[in-house]
A and B are shown apart, each in its own frame.
Chain A
Amino acid sequence: MSTGLNDNEIISKVLNGDHEAYAGLVNRYQNYVFTLTLRMIKSREDAEEVAQDIFIKAYRSLSSFRGDSKFSTWLYTIVNTTAITFLRKKKLDIHSLDNEKVFEVADSQDSGLRANLVEQKSKVSMVNNAIALLNPDDAQIITLFYKAEQTLEEIAQVLGLETNTAKVRLHRARTRLKEKMETHFAEEVRDLN
């Protein structure tokens, strides 16, 4: 196993023929990649399939990783393009951030999730559930910033945006998340204050 090695050392090993070393990278990033994919795609089954596809794509093009950026940033770029391609293929809407209808659609998504709200009282569950109600763009940028340890510059690189645009998008995503929490989890939000 390559658990003690950093990303670049594992990549060197893989490129030198030790393909088993790649398991180290998969183990290290599987939760990040799966969370990002799930938050964009919403279906657990599809997200698992797409996440596997992402790691396979990354493996095949590993020789093109030049090390100019962090491996995670490079990997999340593949997550972004693969998940968007999947959503397009599935003909699911990828809503623009300015489209107010996203709230209505998000509300209609995953109604089973809200049915379990009574049982899911913890604050962390509330945040996860609120993120699940966001549109893919908002959920993605929040996950990249808070869970995938990406700076605004790196997020801009992943999403192919200007840093300032990424900053504005993050702000809007957080505002929408707050609104979701206040609308759907009013009781829990009251407990916070």
Chain B
Amino acid sequence: MNTQHSPEEKLWEYIDGISSPDEKTMIEQLLQNDAVWKAKYQELMEINQLLQSSDLEAPSMRFTKNVMEEITKLHIAPATKSYINNKIIWGLGIFFIIMIVGFLIYGFGQVDWTVQNDTTITDKLGKIDYSKFFNNTLVNVFMMINVVLGLFLLDNYLSNKRKQYRKEM
């Protein structure tokens, strides 16, 4: 880009107040001593003042009303933290962690670590007996139903919260 500024460009920068201190001093001297620069400056100042005094256009009287009517149908995309209860998230997390840790303790507790003749650790883990907890189909079905119901209730709770949030908006 051409860095050589024309006199007009220098004058605009001076009028806009973005000239460097050196240029400002130089232009002020020119405006005092040079009739051409002075005439140009006055011409540009006139345009500048006209531009500053130019009118803003106004939209129709119903503008704000129209916007607000449209807005009532909309919602700001809310931050997820505003409609998800952290206590539930923590509760679910703690529940699953306790379950996993419990099963691990129970499982590792069954393994006889002193016996050396088993070849691999996977063999030892494969011998863990969970039949105490999951011993028949009926229990498995019962647990599955509970999980589905739990998810259904959780979904219900979250939808109610969301509806409540929207109503508040």
Q: What residues of B have a CB within 8 angstroms of the CB of A30 in the complex?
A: 58-59, 63-64
Give the Cβ gap from A169 to chain B, nearest Cβ, in Å.
Answer: 12
Indicate which residue in A23, A52, A124, A152 contacts B50 across the interface (CB closer than 8 Å).
A124
The smallest beta-carbon distance between A193 and chain B, in angstroms, is 7
Q: Which secondary structure dominates where chain B touches chain A?
A: helix
Chain B residue nearest to A148 in the complex (CB): B56
Q: How far is the CA of A115 from the CA of B51 in the complex (A)?
A: 22
Q: Is B66 an interface residue (CB 8 A)?
A: yes
A59-67, A70-78, A89-97, A105-113 - interface stretch? A59-67
Q: Are B57 and A31 in contact (CB under 8 A)?
A: yes
**Bitwise interface map of B from 70 to 90 toward A, beta carbon under 8 Å scored 1, else 0:** 111010111100000000000
Q: Check A164 against B1 for contact (C-beta < 8 Å).
A: yes
Contact (Cβ within 8 A) A26 B169: no
* Also in contact, A48 and B60, with CB within 8 A (given A124-B55, A131-B54, A177-B47): yes
Instruction: Assess whether A35 is in contact with B56, with CB atoms less than 8 Å apart.
Output: yes
**Contact call B47/A52, Cβ cutoff below 8 A:** no
Contact of A63 among B12, B43, B52, B76 (CB under 8 A): B76
Would you call A20 an interface residue if the criterion is a C-beta within 8 Å of the partner chain's C-beta atoms? yes
Interface size for B (C-beta < 8 A) is 36
List the A side residues contacting B78 at CB < 8 Å: 63
Query: In the bound complex, do residue B68 and residue A22 qualify as a contact, i.e. CB atoms below 8 Å apart?
Result: yes
Q: Which of A2-10, A11-19, A79-87 contacts B (4 or more CB under 8 A)?
A: A11-19
| A114 contact set on B, CB distance < 8 A | none
In the complex, A158 has a CB within 8 A of chain B? no
Report Cα–Cα, A192/B8, bound state, in Å. Answer: 18
Known: A51-B63, A175-B8. Contact between A192 and B46, CB under 8 A? yes
Per-residue B-contact encoding for A159-193, CB less than 8 Å = 1, 0 else: 00000100110110011011001000000000011
Instruction: A23-B64, A52-B70 given; name 12 further pairs at CB < 8 Å.
Output: A15-B76, A19-B76, A31-B58, A32-B56, A34-B56, A35-B57, A52-B66, A56-B67, A62-B76, A127-B53, A131-B54, A147-B54
A-B contact pairs, 10 of them (CB 8 A): A20-B68, A26-B67, A34-B58, A35-B56, A51-B63, A61-B76, A124-B50, A126-B50, A127-B50, A174-B12
Which B positions have Cβ atoms within 8 angstroms of A?
Answer: 1, 8-9, 12-13, 16, 18, 43, 46-47, 50-60, 63-64, 66-68, 70-72, 74, 76-79, 168-169
Give the B-binding residues of A (Cβ under 8 A): 14-15, 17, 19-20, 22-23, 26-27, 30-32, 34-35, 38, 47-48, 51-52, 55-56, 59-63, 123-124, 126-128, 131, 142, 146-147, 152, 164, 167-168, 170-171, 174-175, 177-178, 181, 192-193
